[in-house]
Amino acid sequence: MSEIVAKEIIYCEVCSYPPEYCEFGVSFKRCKEWLLEAHPDLYEKLYSDDALASKVSTLSVEREEKISQDLAKKQLKEEAKQERELQKKLASKVLIKRIERNRRKHIISISGLEVFNIDMKKLSKTFASKFATGASVIKNAEKKEEILVQGDVSDEAKDYIEKLLEEKGLNGVEVEQIDEKKKKKPTTPVVA
């Protein structure tokens, strides 16, 4: 004679879900306390370190997938952003103004470089030593940095800047030279 044992279905007395689903309820902490008391074996099966560890690894696979999807999205966004920035750079213009101070003295002002991530201080120093003259970085009326170089070096500065932009893969950028005859009030240098 064999005894037929009906398979016992356990429902949580706290939240009434099967214990596997307690974590989706609002009383998970109390559910666990109840389960530990009422069905320690099942508690062990669900919440032992081993059980939790295998659960964590499943979760982390899902998380990894989510993360890589997010990453792919971010990368697309970043690529679009870089493309926009490149277009902005290509559409920008560098302006080299040749300003006549008196009949023999000239100064040039270089503006429009700020979008190209060029270190203005360094470039100013390069010009100073390359042309053996004074050069400084100033903030212009639009609060943008400009390089002032003493001397009639507009052509040389243009060549140098074009080379610099070319090295950054920005050969399409226009470097315009203009002559300004009128004497202008000198701007205050902020960086020597």
23 versus 162: smaller Cβ distance to Zn ion: 23
* Three-state secondary structure call for residue 16: coil
**What does the block give as tokens for 131?**
């042309």
183: tokens are 């004497």
The conformation of residue 191, written as its DSSP 8-state character, comes to E
- 18 vs 169 by CB, closer to Zn ion: 18
Minimum separation from the CB atom of position 40 to Zn ion (A): 15
**Cβ closer to Zn ion: 29 or 93?**
29
Task: Decide: 139 and 190 in contact? Cβ < 8 Å.
Answer: yes
Q: Tell me how far, at minimum, the Cβ of 25 lies from Zn ion, in Å.
A: 5
Structure tokens, 79 = 């690529």
Site residues, Zn ion (CB under 5 A): 12, 14-15, 22, 31
Residue 20, both tokens: 């596997």
Residue whose CB is less far from Zn ion, 46 or 118: 46
Shortest reach from residue 27's CB to Zn ion, in Å: 6
User: Of 48 and 69, which has the nearer Cβ to Zn ion?
Assistant: 48
Shortest Å, Cβ 41 to Zn ion: 16
User: Cβ 76 to Zn ion, closest distance in Å?
Assistant: 42
* DSSP output for 33-94: HHHHHH-HHHHHHHHSHHHHHHHHHHHHHHHHHHHHHHHHHHHHHHHHHHHHHHHHHHH-EE
